[in-house]
Structure 1
């Protein structure tokens, strides 16, 4: 094989690697921005748009790079990418780990958080033009691959061309392919592989933080492979510059330079240091992931309190297929008595970007979700209850004392399995997963209702808040319509909700959505608890009961022991018509209203 063929094969292999990294960076930033700011569709669409815009700008400006220094410019591009991509990742994390003064415009933070996408896209735009020019200089694109791969590609190519000939006017092209065509082909293959490996291996297996360092490591390795293969070692380390060797085309008598450029030894040392550092991070990826995640989480968690009033310390964290599960201790460090819970420290559970459970209000929340609405139905085996969500099994424990029949559906089987044996959760659910009238299904709640023929007297929605558009389905008119179709004649659906005072736009969109699904009556109440042991009860959580018609009151012959104990609080709670807010669009699966999402 001639040197030219080997050189072209090396350049195409590098094309594959850098394309792999470029596409994967796009997904890493999209997911990171989703984690930080919510809105999967919004973040992915904006990130992809910005990335391709920046890619185009970089490609357009690549013609202004010195054509006599193709190799040097390619090396610089890979080193800069290896440095910029992780730095941009850490910048986004840092923006969400510190308290930014309210005087700073949100639009400025939005812009700064997306600058890393622009930088990586811009630098990636240089790669393909530089590689294409280098392959063109070699003039041996058709022989770059092994013979068996060439033969296979030729057979596929002939078949595709025949197919194209049925519609288009085609001319079979034999012989050497242009540098642009082979580089683009390898770029597309690398992009596809990058997308698949990211989605199936890197993100689920390593997580976001190690993945960004794996990709930066590959950029650094690509730069070093390039300089090792094409560099003129005879001049090292005498001169201050690194030069590229010439390529001899054995098939031609002439000699043609691939590139005659220079790279400073300083940049080469930087590349070596970065690559070695990233290799160390990847080798210890679990430790790096844990430390960086905890640094972010401990700064970001509980930041709604005044500075210095509450400190968070992560106890454990992990990622299931569907969510990031974080357990942490929060400690009151403010002046004066702790107004938020008894004592100085308590443990909490956080799923994704929202707090789901704290020791001070775990009981009161589930009393509001279960013990209050059970006053509206008859206890006993004939009463059928559907619980959507509730993978911690605590709601099931509260239902068990009423001896009802329970269908339980939750998407995250990994989380449900973990909470069965975890001591923190066991003290709340008391092995409720063993309840003999319980049927648990691991599935999406919406899909479950689409496929079920059961009717229920009570439906409890123990689901995360509407902080991400992955959850838009569970806040859609279609989902609530399915629930209504599965209710018995006197059935009701219960969910916790955000306060209309704190989240007015969400509340209006949510209420209009429920109303559009056919629910005409609502009953709203708060559950109260003396969570700080000061002798005064505080409002803990707001709940809504929805029904497609008239229903009985909470107090009366069927009231539960909990409602009876707090009768003074609940006797004035009455059913009202579900209001309709003008100018507020319903949230639908096929026409989402993003006002229903809230920013935590």
Structure 2
């Protein structure tokens, strides 16, 4: 039979495990919500707030519960089931097709956002019930004196002395030795809870998320919760009773009555717990297949729902994750009769990074012609001149610059993605092993950090960046970053970047141009890339670009160009004109220290 001290130690171990699981559930939900809705800072802030509020509500409601051990067993089974189901719930809510007019779709999207936070509240509420339960259990198992012996006692005495010495520096410390048997277990349980939360956050960030990903991680958490529930059941179902009192109640070794009857309902929950252990263990054994099926089901529904009347069929063909982003390849085919893309290149393969489309086969060439080739006509001959390429981890822009004998510094944070694209068949068709270019220097670091630490000047800076879809990239759309860009331009130097449509995203455009103007740029030239998307012989405007200048405004030099794309569309680019960067009343720039969230495009 376990002694009271053994069961009390088990209560502290359970506290650590359940705190670990609870905080990691919330981190998983935060990450998933950030992927779905953007705004990492907002998602994590709201999650923390809701979680802490729900913890408080759960702790308050504990007073209305019976503190019978069977209730704690129920609680852990509920968490073992509902925690992982929370991820499935969030995915399911956001996989439901949204149709209707613009107002209806906007209302349903807001509803999906609000409802998607429900698992945070559920897990937070249940977790709030845990601490009072565990404190009562630890107090009940304190035994006659509750004093440890041997090494355990020495460690306890040593830790108390250290704690008293530390808190005695800023506060008036008690002279009481703080023997564990004479005090409430609340501080000990709470301390173990905080320790479990700390280990959970660090383990999630450094091990679980980068090694397993979101879906396998919730299986790990569900398994831990289920095993904790099972261990608790066995410990309290079988241990502690040594004799019966006169009225038939069981007693523990210290003579205090202990009810070890869990009842028929708990037996049903025990069966659910055992099923959960088996299901999560099996899911982890086959986690790759399970993750792939769930992810593909969601992504295909999500991508198809982005097109009017769902006139698109999507099939996921590949997926990879790096430390910084999810890489998804999918094949899409238009099914609508009037779709612009039907014809020449349908179906076609596209690339997404996180939630944003980056490249599709129908416009890979035209996009890079717009970003690199057109801007070069204004920067002049790049032979023996230095170009800064920010982003460009697919090496395609680097290949275009190699053709012009430029000396290139490429700055991209994601080393894993750069290595992934070197020999991936999708990218090999376009970059022609540009990573071997002798005049290319790669810096695997954040662009803001690189610019802060270098004194080089550049004749042309190309920003081949993902869109401003979340606050992860907010600093690369800030006045501080663009001031750095301006400071590193040589005389007459230019900055070229892809940009969002001014018609579809007017608020972003105003915030972006205000930010650029605040950083010291005076003029901009707007132009598009052009491509014959459906093979009917008519090229249409596709991606939009800006060239930014703090001073001189050179016109495109299209005389004698040999590039087929530039020759074909020379007249379009000759008509492009420089304009002063406008001022918008009531619009403030985006700063690292005072962000303007209008610059984020969250749809």
Q: TM-score range by the shorter chain?
A: over 0.9
The yes-or-no answer on 1:262 pairing with 2:260 is no
1:534 to 511, 533, 536: 536
CA 1:166–1:189 in structure 2 vs 1: closer, same or farther (change >3 Å)? Answer: closer
Task: State the partner residue of 2:73.
Answer: 75
TM value normalised by structure 2: 0.93
The yes-or-no answer on 1:566 pairing with 2:569 is yes
Could you say what secondary structure the match of 1:307 adopts?
A: helix
Alignment of 1:9-158 (within 5 A): 9-67=9-67, 69=68, 71-102=69-100, 103=104, 104-140=107-143, 143=146, 147-158=150-161
CA 1:467–1:246 in structure 2 vs 1: closer, same or farther (change >3 Å)? Answer: farther
The yes-or-no answer on 1:585 pairing with 2:591 is no
Q: 1:136-160 CA deviation, whole Å, 9 max, x = no partner?
A: 1122498587743442343233123
Task: State the partner residue of 2:244.
Answer: none
Alignment of 1:332-481 (within 5 A): 332-335=334-337, 339=341, 342-481=344-483
Q: 1:188-227 CA deviation, whole Å, 9 max, x = no partner?
A: 1111111111111111111001111111111111111111
Q: Distance in 2 between matches of 1:145 and 1:127?
A: 25
The yes-or-no answer on 1:210 pairing with 2:216 is yes
CA 1:167–1:434 in structure 2 vs 1: closer, same or farther (change >3 Å)? Answer: closer
Task: State the partner residue of 2:278.
Answer: 276
Contact 2:98 2:305 in 1 (8 A): no
Q: Distance in 1 between matches of 2:53 and 2:514?
A: 38
Q: Give the number of equivalent residue pairs.
A: 587
Could you say what secondary structure the match of 1:447 adopts?
A: helix
Q: Distance in 1 between matches of 2:349 and 2:473?
A: 26
Contact 1:456 1:487 in 2 (8 A): yes
Task: State the partner residue of 2:237.
Answer: 231
Could you say what secondary structure the match of 1:231 adopts?
A: helix
TM value normalised by structure 1: 0.93
Q: Distance in 1 between matches of 2:418 and 2:232?
A: 49
Q: Distance in 1 between matches of 2:568 and 2:535?
A: 18
Could you say what secondary structure the match of 2:117 adopts?
A: helix
Task: State the partner residue of 1:239.
Answer: none
Could you say what secondary structure the match of 2:319 adopts?
A: strand
Contact 1:21 1:219 in 2 (8 A): yes
CA 1:56–1:313 in structure 2 vs 1: closer, same or farther (change >3 Å)? Answer: same
Q: 1:494-521 CA deviation, whole Å, 9 max, x = no partner?
A: 0000011101111111110011100001
Higher mean C-alpha deviation, range 81-90 or range 390-399: 81-90
Contact 2:240 2:258 in 1 (8 A): no
Contact 2:24 2:201 in 1 (8 A): yes
CA 1:405–1:315 in structure 2 vs 1: closer, same or farther (change >3 Å)? Answer: same
CA 1:383–1:372 in structure 2 vs 1: closer, same or farther (change >3 Å)? Answer: same
Could you say what secondary structure the match of 1:212 adopts?
A: helix
- Quote the offset at 1:469 in angstroms: 0.5
Q: Distance in 2 between matches of 1:462 and 1:248?
A: 69
Q: Distance in 2 between matches of 1:292 and 1:411?
A: 29
The yes-or-no answer on 1:549 pairing with 2:551 is yes
Contact 1:314 1:329 in 2 (8 A): yes
Q: 1:413-472 CA deviation, whole Å, 9 max, x = no partner?
A: 111111111111011001111112111111111101111111000000001000010000
Could you say what secondary structure the match of 1:372 adopts?
A: helix
Contact 2:70 2:262 in 1 (8 A): yes
Could you say what secondary structure the match of 1:12 adopts?
A: helix
Structure 2 segments unaligned to the other structure (5+ residues): 242-247
Alignment of 1:189-200 (within 5 A): 189-200=195-206
Q: Distance in 2 between matches of 1:588 and 1:346?
A: 39
Higher mean C-alpha deviation, range 521-530 or range 270-279: 270-279
Contact 2:84 2:222 in 1 (8 A): yes
Higher mean C-alpha deviation, range 347-356 or range 327-336: 327-336
Structure 1 segments unaligned to the other structure (5+ residues): 236-243
Could you say what secondary structure the match of 1:540 adopts?
A: strand
- Quote the offset at 1:525 in angstroms: 0.2
Contact 1:519 1:547 in 2 (8 A): yes
Q: Distance in 2 between matches of 1:282 and 1:90?
A: 16
- Quote the offset at 1:397 in angstroms: 0.9
Higher mean C-alpha deviation, range 433-442 or range 515-524: 433-442
Q: Distance in 2 between matches of 1:97 and 1:270?
A: 28
Contact 2:99 2:309 in 1 (8 A): no
Could you say what secondary structure the match of 2:308 adopts?
A: coil
* 4+ aligned runs moved over 6 Å, structure 1: none
Contact 1:466 1:475 in 2 (8 A): yes
Could you say what secondary structure the match of 1:132 adopts?
A: helix
Task: State the partner residue of 1:240.
Answer: none
Q: 1:209-252 CA deviation, whole Å, 9 max, x = no partner?
A: 111111111111111111111114999xxxxxxxx995523xx4
Q: Distance in 1 between matches of 2:199 and 2:144?
A: 22
- Quote the offset at 1:304 in angstroms: 2.1
The yes-or-no answer on 1:487 pairing with 2:472 is no
Could you say what secondary structure the match of 1:334 adopts?
A: coil
Q: 1:262-296 CA deviation, whole Å, 9 max, x = no partner?
A: 35222221222122111111121111111111111
Could you say what secondary structure the match of 1:330 adopts?
A: strand
- Quote the offset at 1:557 in angstroms: 5.0
Task: State the partner residue of 2:178.
Answer: 174
- Quote the offset at 1:261 in angstroms: 4.9
Could you say what secondary structure the match of 2:418 adopts?
A: helix
Higher mean C-alpha deviation, range 385-394 or range 338-347: 338-347
Q: Distance in 2 between matches of 1:92 and 1:137?
A: 39
